[in-house]
Amino acid sequence: MAGIDEAGLGPILGPLVVGGMVLAGPAGLSAWEALGKHFCKAKSGRNDRRIRVDDSKKVKTGVHGHKELERTVLTLWYAVHGRLPDTVADLLGHSEGEPDFERYPWYGGIGATPLPRWQDRDALELEAHVAAKSFEQAGLEPLHYAFHVVDVARYNASIREFDNKGRTLFEAGVPVLRTCLRTAQRYRSRNGNGDARMLVVADRHGGRGHYKRHLEGALPKVRIETLLESPSLSRYSIGSWSEILFTENGEDRAFPCAAASCLAKYVRELCVERLNTFVASKLPDIKPTAGYWTDGKRFLSDLGALRRTMPEELLVRIR
C-alpha cells in the first residue's frame, strides 16, 4: 500500500509539500493494528507513549506539537532509511527534485540546520531503533518515504498555467506517485512476486471527482481505467497490478497516507520556521506565522518597509 498526502495547499506563505510512503505486507493487514505496540492512530490517554501516525493536524497539536510531529516523522524515516537525517540538507536530499531554495534569502543556510530540531537526538534514535523492529515483527516492510517541495515561485507558475489549485496539487503529487510505482515495481522484481498488487491512497483534491485524464497525462505509457467515480471517492486501475484511490480523509483510511501527511507537514514546518527566523532577525518584535491566509496577511502587513526588500514572487502566493 502507498499513501500520498499534502501540506500547505491553503496558505498564502511557504511551500506546498506532498509526501509519500510505500509499505509492503500481507493483503488486508491493518498497519495500525499490527504495529499497535509502538504506533497508534490516536492516544488512549495522557500516559500513552506510542508514536501517533494520523492526520498531521492532529499529530501537531498543543504546546508540544512540533516535538510530536518530529517524533512521528523521524521514527518512520529511521524505519525506512535505517538512520536519522543529520541535517535539513540530508533530509532534502531525498526529495523528489531539488527545491530551488537558493533564490530565497530566507532559506540561506537551511541545509546546515541540524536535525532533530525539537527532539533529543540520542533518545529519539534509541526509540526509533526499537520501533523500527516492530515492522519486521509484524511482517511489514517500509519501502519508501519521501516528498516533493513546490516552492512559492513554482506554485505561482503552476497556478498561472492551470488556473486551478486542485490541478496544481495533482501535478505536485505526480513525482511522488511515479516514485511510489517504481518502488513497488522494484519490490515485485526483487522478490519474484508477480502476483503482488499495490493500492495507492491519495487525499482527494477538493471537489474534484474525475482524474483519469490527468493520470493518463502523468503516466502516458500506462493503461488507466476508471473503476469507480462517486461523490466520496474515485478509483482507477494503473496498469495490471496497481490501483489508485482518491478519497476524502485518506489519512483516516491508510497508515501510509497518514505517514505521508506527517512528512509533508514536517518539511513545510521546517521551511516556514526559516522564514520566521529570517524576518525576526530584522524585526525582533514581529509575531511568527504559520503562513495560513488570515494570519499570513497579518504577517505581511507587519513586515512594513521590510516587505519591499523581499522578492514578492518568492514570498506571496497569488492564490
Measured CA angle at 201 (ends 176, 138), to 5 deg: 100
Give per-residue pLDDT as tens, 49-107: 999 999 999 999 999 999 999 999 999 999 999 999 999 999 999 899 878 899 999 99
- Provide the grid cell at 73: 516523522
pLDDT surpassing 80 at residue 120: yes
What does the pLDDT read at residue 208? 80
Classify residue 117 by burial, with Cβ atoms within 10 Å: 0-12, 13-18, 19+: middle
Asked if residues 313 and 33 have their Cβ atoms less than 8 Å apart, the reply is: no
- The fold of 2-274 is Nucleotidyltransferase; domain 5 (3.30.420)
Angle of the 165-191 helix axis to the 152-162 helix axis, nearest 10: 110
Give per-residue pLDDT as tens, 14-40: 999 999 999 999 988 999 999 999 999
Instruction: Name 155's Cβ contacts closer than 8 Å, sequence gap at least 6.
Output: 15, 16, 168, 317
Give per-residue pLDDT as tens, 153-197: 999 999 999 999 999 999 999 999 999 999 999 999 988 777 889
The full set of domain ranges for the chain reads 2-274, 275-315
Instruction: Name 277's Cβ contacts closer than 8 Å, sequence gap at least 6.
Output: 106
Instruction: Name residue 92's beta-bridge partners.
Output: none
Give per-residue pLDDT as tens, 135-151: 999 999 999 999 999 99
Instruction: Name 31's Cβ contacts closer than 8 Å, sequence gap at least 6.
Output: 1, 23, 25, 39, 138, 140, 255, 256
Asked if residues 40 and 50 have their Cβ atoms less than 8 Å apart, the reply is: yes
Measured CA angle at 256 (ends 98, 111), to 5 deg: 25
What does the pLDDT read at residue 151? 97
The model carries a pTM of: 0.97
What does the pLDDT read at residue 196? 87
For 211, the 3-state DSSP assignment is coil
